[in-house]
Amino acid sequence: MTRHARLFALLAATTLSIPSGARAEERSQVAEKYKWKTSDLFATEAAWIVAKDDLAARIAKLASFQGKLGTSAADLFGGLDALMAVDKDLTHLVTYASMRSDEDTRLGKPREMKQASESLAVKFAAIAAYFRPEILSLGETKVRAFVAAEPRLAPYAPWLNDILRYAPHTLGAAEEKVAAEAAIMADGAMNAYDTFTNADLPYPEVTLKSGEKVRLDAQAYTKYRTSADRQDRDLVFHSFFTRYKDFERTLGATLDATVKTHLFDKNVHKYDSALQAAIFDSNVPTRVYTQLIADVHANLPTLHRYLKLRQKMMGLDQLRYEDLYAPIVKEVDLHYTPEQAMALVEQAVAPLGPTYVADLHRSFQEGWVDWIPTTGKKSGAYSTGAYGVHPYQLQNFTGIYDEVSTLAHESGHSLHTYLSDKHQPYPTHDYKIFVAEVASTLNENLLLHHMLNQTKDKATRLFLLGSHLDGLRTTLFRQTLFAEFELKIHQLAEKGEPLVGEKLSELYRALVKEYYGDAAGVCKVDDLFGIEWAYIPHFYYNFYVYQYATSITASAKIAADLRADRTPKTRDAYLKLLSSGSSKYPIDLLKEAGVDMTTSAPFQAAIREMNATMDEMEKLLAQK
């Protein structure tokens, strides 16, 4: 029942390169203009503690509504109003503590605050666990009569409809309380993984061909795997993943523990599968997930066509897994300052209208974004929101084009959050995850086409087109590979099979070899890289990653419509989607925006775009 702060995961392929003046070893060295303003949430840590203690008392008072929700429409409203007020303020607490912890994962005090807020969230869920079964016990007829009789319940109607949909998966009040209290253990494995990989894992130090010595943490790996020198790429890949291989058993145990929490929810709440349990909230049929995997397998020849094109452009006799992040146009070296990146993204999203651009500009100027990577800072990028304040972005911006694209991506999330919060009451402000990645990938698409419209230079166009193709590889194909791996490990666990690290590596290795055409010689995959699963934090997010792939197919369709439509019709339909929160289910919202995700048509549209992009690249390469 609790709605925690939205933490939209980074794209795993984020790349790093530090622009002049932007590097900082410690957070204290970063200019204030490059830091987010957590003071907009709470002025001080002391204010946060006061709010936490007050909220704890308010959570305890929620028990007073038990047994009274069905007395009258007014009583139902009173209970829901108190519930949502606590939920909103709890989200503020969790968001603030999580952000402060992410600034420097080495510090104990922010971690304590994060753990305290998470414990309070569990307490809230346990005390409020009676709401759903008690509302269900009223019956659909009575609930709808209350909504019709009490105007103040109108904003709660979609939320109540969702509860009624959960009837087959809702237990009695006492059982739901036990299940909610068990949630205190749900994030333990993920927290251990995050702390270990961000703060404690002894990353290797390597000496590059230039003589430069590098500590290969996650940020350095994503930077140096893009090296134009193949010897350095080999060193980086093998050193980095050998170190993860050293901890294969430990990291297998953390992932196994996370999967077990998913099985607990599936079994207790009587879902057919862990997959159904995970995506039920968005009301997405499981066939959408399995159809995505089937569509990808049917279109692996398109991925292989791209890999062969990459091999040709790199001048390699044999493409290898270590070569997949290297630039395919060596002459192009695009670097940007944060200010230049902001300007580019603002220009790129102009098709979404002046109001959207103005809101985005505010986000860059008013402390919504934390820019610079520092020691101990959480890696990657995300956007998170706090209703009534504004969204926040964590970035690890380092200047190359992919980082500008990441900024566009997370800014899409932030503006989606901002518009939903602005136009929706609290009960329906929090949009479903299934539609979340549409806004982010649409912004990436708009940025690409803006860049292409700016330049006629052959090398730069090839670089941009190649970046787009690799984005399709990493999002459409790689994220689906992740989704298939996640489905398979849950299916194994459902059969009672243990998920030890060695088995996870074997399963992942087989999938990577199949996807990348290892047996056919399309791209050779070293057996060591079966351990890559241990580097991917997404597997702790409970069937999240497939939505990257489904969303990029939806956003490609919408972006094409925006370019073709000279009227505001497509733009306004899309902005309505961004402003709708969870007032309708995501499948329905996307249909209203012109995309039917229950068919393979959006996927086929993305494949057509991928092939058309390769057609253009091949024409450019054929020019003398």
Task: Answer yes or no: is pLDDT of 12 > 70.
Answer: no
Local structure of 150: helix, strand or coil:
coil
* The residue type at 182: A
Q: Rounded to 5 degrees, what are φ and ψ at 36? A: -75, 155
Q: Rounded to 5 degrees, what are φ and ψ at 130? A: -75, -20
Q: From 411, 473, 474, select the one nearest 444 (Cα to Cα).
A: 411
Q: What per-residue confidence (pLDDT) applies to 35? A: 96
Q: What per-residue confidence (pLDDT) applies to 24? A: 66
Span 341-387, pLDDT tens digits: 999 999 999 999 999 999 999 999 999 999 999 999 998 899 999 99
Span 304-345, pLDDT tens digits: 999 999 999 999 999 999 999 998 876 677 899 999 999 999
Q: Please answer whether residues 381 and 398 qualify as being in contact, where contact means their C-beta atoms are separated by less than 8 angstroms.
A: no
Local structure of 524: helix, strand or coil:
strand
Whole-number Cα distances in Å, 111 to 94, 191, 236, 326, 386: 11, 10, 31, 36, 19
Alpha-carbon span 592 to 375, nearest angstrom: 45
Write out the E strands in 387-463.
392-394
* The residue type at 124: F
pTM here is 0.79
Query: What share of the chain has pLDDT > 70, as a percent?
Result: 96
* The residue type at 339: E
Whole-number Cα distances in Å, 340 to 29, 357, 396: 21, 15, 16
Dihedral sign from CA coordinates of 365, 369, 372, 375: positive
Q: Which letter does DSSP use for residue 386 in this model?
A: -
* 369-370/392-394 β-pairing: parallel
> Other CB atoms closer than 10 Å to residue 177's CB: what's the count?
18
Alpha-carbon span 330 to 236, nearest angstrom: 19
Alpha-carbon span 103 to 89, nearest angstrom: 22
Task: Answer yes or no: is pLDDT of 435 > 70.
Answer: yes
Whole-number Cα distances in Å, 574 to 30, 435, 583, 595: 37, 12, 15, 11
Q: Following DSSP, what letter does each residue of 154-222 receive, concatenated?
A: GGGHHHHHHHHHTGGG---HHHHHHHHHHGGGTTHHHHHHHHIIIII----EEE-TTS-EEE--HHHHH
Q: What per-residue confidence (pLDDT) applies to 291? A: 93
Span 503-556, pLDDT tens digits: 999 999 999 999 999 999 999 999 999 999 999 999 999 999 999 899 999 998
Write out the E strands in 318-391.
369-370, 382-384
Q: Please answer whether residues 475 and 553 qualify as being in contact, where contact means their C-beta atoms are separated by less than 8 angstroms.
A: no
First to last CA, the chain: 62
And the tokens for 104? Answer: 């420097």
Which position has the token pair 């080999």?
Answer: 234
Q: Rounded to 5 degrees, what are φ and ψ at 14? A: -55, 135
Catalytic residues: 410
Residues 64-85, mean pLDDT to the nearest whole number: 97
Alpha-carbon span 306 to 323, nearest angstrom: 13
Query: What share of the chain has pLDDT > 90, as a percent?
Result: 79
Angle, to 10 degrees, between the axis of helix 479-494 and the axis of helix 546-564?
A: 150
* Dihedral (Cα; 427, 432, 435, 440), 10-degree rounding: 80
Strand order in the sheet with 369-370: 369-370, 392-394, 382-384
Q: Which letter does DSSP use for residue 320 in this model?
A: B
And the tokens for 443? Answer: 């912004």
Residue range 36-183 forms a domain whose CATH class is mainly alpha
CB-based burial label for 615 (10 Å; 0-12, 13-18, 19+):
exposed
Show me where the domains of the chain are located: 36-183, 186-201+214-338+412-624
Q: What per-residue confidence (pLDDT) applies to 330? A: 65
Q: What per-residue confidence (pLDDT) applies to 23? A: 57
Q: Following DSSP, what letter does each residue of 251-276 receive, concatenated?
A: HHHHHHHHHHHHHHHHHHTT-S-HHH
And the tokens for 583? Answer: 């007032």
> Other CB atoms closer than 10 Å to residue 38's CB: what's the count?
20
Residues 404-425, mean pLDDT to the nearest whole number: 96
Q: From 34, 48, 29, 91, select the one nearest 376 (Cα to Cα).
A: 29
Q: Please answer whether residues 345 and 443 qualify as being in contact, where contact means their C-beta atoms are separated by less than 8 angstroms.
A: yes
Alpha-carbon span 16 to 219, nearest angstrom: 7
Mean pLDDT of the chain: 91
Span 175-185, pLDDT tens digits: 888 888 887 78
Residues 108-118, mean pLDDT to the nearest whole number: 93
Q: Which CATH architecture has domain 186-201+214-338+412-624?
A: Orthogonal Bundle (1.10)
Q: Please answer whether residues 219 and 312 qualify as being in contact, where contact means their C-beta atoms are separated by less than 8 angstroms.
A: no
Span 533-542, pLDDT tens digits: 999 999 999 9
Q: From 74, 194, 173, select the one nearest 126 (Cα to Cα).
A: 173
Q: Which residues contact 363 (CB under 8 A, 6 or more apart)?
A: 369, 390, 391, 393, 411, 414, 415, 418
In the structure, what pLDDT confidence band is assigned to residue 489 with cuts at 50, 70 and 90? very high
Q: Please answer whether residues 385 and 53 qualify as being in contact, where contact means their C-beta atoms are separated by less than 8 angstroms.
A: no
